[in-house]
Amino acid sequence: MAAMPTMVFEAGPMEVDVKHVDKSMIPNLAKPLMVVAPKEAGAYPVIVFLHGWNMLNSWYEQLLTHVASHGFIAVAPQLYWMVVSEPDADDIDATKRITNWLADHDKGLAYVLKDVFKLEHVEPDLTKLAIAGHSRGGQTAFAVALGLGDAKTKLELKFSALISVDPVAGVSRAQQLEPKVLTFEPDCLDVGMPVLVMGTGLGPKHIGGFPCAPVGVNHAEFYRECAPPRYHHVVKDYGHLDMLDDNVPYIINNCMCMRNQHNTKDLARRTMGGAMVAFLRAKLRID
C-alpha cells in the first residue's frame, strides 16, 4: 500500500480507446470532439478539456490517455484552428454547448460511447464532472466556471472541479483576452469548486519572441487570485508545450516556446497527468 500515492504517475490499469467525433456523425454537436475513454465496464467521471491557442485537440491524446487509464472519460473539443486573435466569448459559449450536449438523451456522450466506441457497458457519470484546459484553454475554463461571456447559452450541468494547465490570460497585464478573468486582487476568483493550477518553470522564458506564458498573466497570478480551496503544482524544468504528444509538428515543438532539452516529454506528461488524476480522485470524492 505504501506505493499507492506514486502509482498515479504511471499508466493506469485500464486499456483506453480514442475516437474523433464530428457533425457528420452527431448532427447536434457544437464542435468536433476527441473522446478518450476506458474500455473496461463502469461509470466514469468526465473531464471537459480545452486545448491551447492554435493547438489541435489531438495533440493532447497522450496526456489524456494517461488520465483516462486511471478511470476517467476525457472530452476534448476542437474550439477553433489557426486564428490570430479573437475574444474568448465564442469559446466560452461553445464549451457550454458541448457540456450541455454530454447529457443529451438521444445523441449525447452515452450514445457516443455505446454506438461509436461500441462499448456496451461504459457510461459517463455526469454527477462527477470537471473542466480543464491548457494555456488559453485554461483561461477559458476559468471564464466558464465564473459565468463570464454572454448569456445566450445557459450551462445545464454542474462542474465540481477545475484544472488549469499553465493558463495564460494574454500577452501582458494590459493586453488580456476578453472577457478578462484576472483582476490582480488576491483570492478574488471564486469559482465555487476546488481548483488545481499547474505551471511550468520555462513558460515565462522566450526564444526570440513573446514568452508563451508571460509573467503577470500566467499560472502564478491565476493561483494567487484563486479563492480556496486551491492547489498549485509547478514543473519547474519543463516548458509550456512539453505535455503535448511526441508527434506534434517540429515548428510547434521547437520554435514556439522554451522547452526542456532532454527529450523527456513523457516524464512531463506523467507528472502533470498524475497530478491531475490525484486531484480529481480527491476532489470528485473517488479516493
By annotation, the residues acting in catalysis are 135, 166, 240
> CA 219, 221, 227, 228 torsion: positive or negative?
positive
CB neighbours (10 Å) of residue 247?
Answer: 10
Q: What angle do CA 54, 59, 60 make, to 5 degrees?
A: 110
- The DSSP output letter for 211 is -
Cα angle 76-116-72, degrees, rounded to a multiple of 5: 45
CB within 8 A of 10, min separation 6: which ones?
270, 274
Residue 281 per-residue DSSP state: H
